[in-house]
Amino acid sequence: MTMPNEAAALLRSNRRRRRIRRWVAIGTIPLTLAALLFVGKLLSMYAFAHQSITAYVVDDFAGSEASARGQEFLNWFEPYKAPFNVGTALGGAEQLPEARTQLEEALDLATGLEVCGVRINLALVVERMGDAARADGDGAGAAELYGEALTITIETPEACRSKQAQLQSPDPQRDMADSLDGTADRLKQKQQEEEQQQQPQPQPGEKEQPSEDKLKGLQDKLEQGTQERDQQQGDDQGGSGTEKPW
């Protein structure tokens, strides 16, 4: 009687263990799927980023944009990267207003040294918008856009000139400090040129209007001449009575 009871108890114990293992396996399915999704998302982010950069280098801006938009789905890691890469690709394709919108979104999402590359590209896109406005004959609009691009550049944090920022640069071949300085100098010159163009220029044959100081000097001379004439007339009336020309 003892052996059958022990066998039955062992059988029940094995069944219980199998049931527990089965429920443990079922319970870990969500965690396993989440882990797989996490790894897959990481790999896809790197793949899309690589494809976007590679396409941009060969001037395939449409392909670069398409790859960058692949980063938008479940964009948990570095959320600024997707709009940054999309905006950069659109800028290369001369879709400047759309590029500006994407880069401004990236700037809102960026933190720390991430803002450095975003600000540099945003300033360049706005500068090119100013160039386009100037080419269309809109000097006032160009000057305004140059001013906006200059503000974006000047407000770039000083930390973006550091070695750590350079290590995180989206373009290691481009020195961030040199880019910021060169962009600022170029924008100041362009803005000044456009502002000078907006100043009214005298038309050919048009006489220059005298300044207030010149007008006052002329008035003083006229008053002095009138006084001298009146004095001479008074003196002449005591003589021949003939009015002399003045």
CB atoms within 10 A of CB 145: 27
Instruction: Identify the pLDDT of residue 134.
Output: 93
- The residue ranking higher by pLDDT, 12 or 219, is 12
- Domain check: are 123 and 84 in the same one? no
- Domain check: are 193 and 126 in the same one? yes
- Look at 32-41, 79-88, 202-211, 220-229 and tell me which has the smallest mean pLDDT: 32-41
Residue 137 lies in a domain: yes
Q: What is the mean pLDDT of residues 160-166?
A: 92
Q: Going by C-beta distance under 8 Å and a sequence separation of 6 or more, which residues neighbour residue 92?
A: 56, 59, 61, 64
pLDDT greater than 50 at residue 3: yes
- Domain check: are 82 and 135 in the same one? no
Q: Whole-angstrom Cα distance, residue 32 to residue 232? A: 115
- Banded model confidence at residue 136, pLDDT cuts 50, 70, 90: very high
Q: How far is CA 205 from CA 172, 180, 201, 202, in A?
A: 56, 45, 12, 8
Q: pLDDT for 99-108, tens place per residue? A: 999 999 999 9
**Helices and strands in the chain, H and E counts:** 9, 0
Domain that holds residue 122: 111-197
pLDDT greater than 70 at residue 198: yes
- Banded model confidence at residue 8, pLDDT cuts 50, 70, 90: low
Instruction: Identify the pLDDT of residue 84.
Output: 92
Longest CA–CA separation in the chain, Å:
170
Residue 218 lies in a domain: no
Q: pLDDT for 22-39, tens place per residue? A: 676 676 666 555 454 544
Residue 171 lies in a domain: yes
Instruction: Identify the pLDDT of residue 16.
Output: 73
Instruction: Identify the pLDDT of residue 219.
Output: 58
- The residue ranking higher by pLDDT, 66 or 111, is 111
pLDDT greater than 60 at residue 64: yes
Q: Whole-angstrom Cα distance, residue 93 to residue 90? A: 5
Q: Going by C-beta distance under 8 Å and a sequence separation of 6 or more, which residues neighbour residue 51?
A: 63, 64, 67, 70
- Banded model confidence at residue 74, pLDDT cuts 50, 70, 90: low
Altogether, the residues listed in the chain come to a count of 246
User: Which sign, positive or negative, has the C-alpha torsion 90, 91, 95, 98?
Assistant: positive
Residue 214 lies in a domain: no
Number of structural domains the chain divides into:
2
End position of a domain, from candidates 96, 124, 149: 96
Q: Which of 15-24, 60-69, 79-88 has the highest mean pLDDT?
A: 79-88
